[in-house]
Amino acid sequence: MSSLRSLDLSRNKSLRAVEVMARAVLPLHKTPNPAVPTFLRTTLSTITSPAFFEVVVFYRDYEFDGVESYPHHGPNMYRKIKPAWRAMEASWHRGLFKIFREMYTVRHFQLVLCADVWGPLKEYTMRVLRRAAAVEKAAKRLSYLPSEPLVVSNPRRYPEEKLGMKISYCLAD
């Protein structure tokens, strides 16, 4: 799989938000030396819209430890979570926040963390995201943002599940 050429968003004058998948910002097992992916850096740098103010990072079911979700099946979230997995997830979130900071140097934005998950997982996943943001805030690593990251949820099924697949499998990690 080859990498993406960046998009030119310079003509989109009413662009308000860009949504990007968390795993696309930082693959789950690539936590040492996280850096902004080139496609994202270049695409963000082309934005000229005066209305632009939000980067929405969306997290899918399968990006949360303790959650299993398969196409055509409902979620299963009551698995016992090993402490090592929790530590790995925390480290991934730390890496992501480091990248968000770097992205902010390219283009200023309001950070929105969106749990794009099945309805019944909403509460649990939002709690995980709030906790990750709180850890960053406590360590005073969010001072660059104009306001605290917003944690929201978008409970709907993804179109790719209709195709019987998960998009993250196709991403170039």
Partner 1 sequence: MRLSAASKLPLELIKMIISHLIYDTRSLLACSLTCYPWYIASIPYLHRTLIVRFDDWPKPLRNASKFGLLPLVKKFCIHGSSWTRYPFPPKRFNHQILRQISGMTNIRELDIDDLDIPRFIPKARHYFGHFLPRLQSLCLKSPEGSCRQIIFFIGLFEHLQDLTLLEGTLGKLEHEPVDDLTPIPPFSPPLQGRLVMMYFMRAGFLESMIGLLGGVRFRYMDLFGVGDTQILLYACAETLETLRLYPADPWGKQL
The answer to whether residue 165 forms part of the interface with partner 1 (CB under 8 A) is: yes
Q: Which of 1, 32, 78, 138 binds partner 1 (CB under 8 A)?
A: 1
The answer to whether residue 2 forms part of the interface with partner 1 (CB under 8 A) is: yes
Q: Which of 43, 63, 67, 103 binds partner 1 (CB under 8 A)?
A: 43
Of 6 and 31, which CB lies nearer to partner 1 in the complex structure? 6
Of 146 and 155, which CB lies nearer to partner 1 in the complex structure? 155
**Could you tell me the two tokens for 128?**
């995980």
Which residues between 122 and 161 bind partner 1 (CB under 8 A)?
Answer: 122, 155-156, 159-160
Q: Which of 79, 86, 105, 120 binds partner 1 (CB under 8 A)?
A: 120
Q: Closest separation between CB of residue 74 and partner 1, Å?
A: 10
Q: Which of 105, 119, 131, 139 binds partner 1 (CB under 8 A)?
A: 119
